[in-house]
Amino acid sequence: MTNSAGRFVTAFLKKNKLLRYFDKLFYAENFGTKEDALRAIARKYKSRISDVVYVADKKADVKIARNAGCRIIVPLACSWDKKLFHGERYTVKSLKQLEAAL
C-alpha cells in the first residue's frame, strides 16, 4: 500500500529487485485512512492484521502501523527521518536487509 504514484513505486521496486515480493499494490486514497486500508488488505487476503508488514519511511507511518496492529519495517536507507529511528528494533539499514526481513 502506498500513497506514491504507481509508476514511481513499480520502477523503484523493479530497480531494487523487490517487485517479486508483491502480488498487488494498493493505494491508500482508495480506502480512506491508511489504517482502514491496512485492515482491508488483511480482510481481502483472509489474513490476520499482524501478518501484514508495513514498510515505513516516516515516523508517522510507524504510528499508523501500530494503530492498525501490523508489523513494521523501516529501511533506514530510504527514510527521511533517519535520526528518529536510530536503534529501533524494526529498522533495516539497507534494501538487502529488507529483502532478508521479508
Evaluate whether residue 92 is within a structural domain. yes
Exposure of 53 by Cβ count < 10 A (0-12 exposed, 13-18 middle, 19+ buried)?
A: middle
Evaluate whether residue 1 is within a structural domain. no
Number of domains comprising the chain: 1
Evaluate whether residue 46 is within a structural domain. yes
Q: Which pLDDT score, from 0 to 100, does residue 25 have?
A: 81
Of residues 37 and 89, more confidently modeled: 37
Provide the domain limits for residue 57: 6-101
Q: Which pLDDT score, from 0 to 100, does residue 41 have?
A: 86
The C-alpha atoms of residue 76 and residue 37 are separated, in whole angstroms, by 24
Evaluate whether residue 63 is within a structural domain. yes
- Write out pLDDT tens, residues 3-32: 777 778 888 889 988 888 888 887 666 777
Residue 99 has φ and ψ, to the nearest 5°, of -60, -40
- Write out pLDDT tens, residues 39-95: 988 998 899 998 888 877 777 888 888 899 988 777 665 555 656 655 555 666 666
Evaluate whether residue 25 is within a structural domain. yes
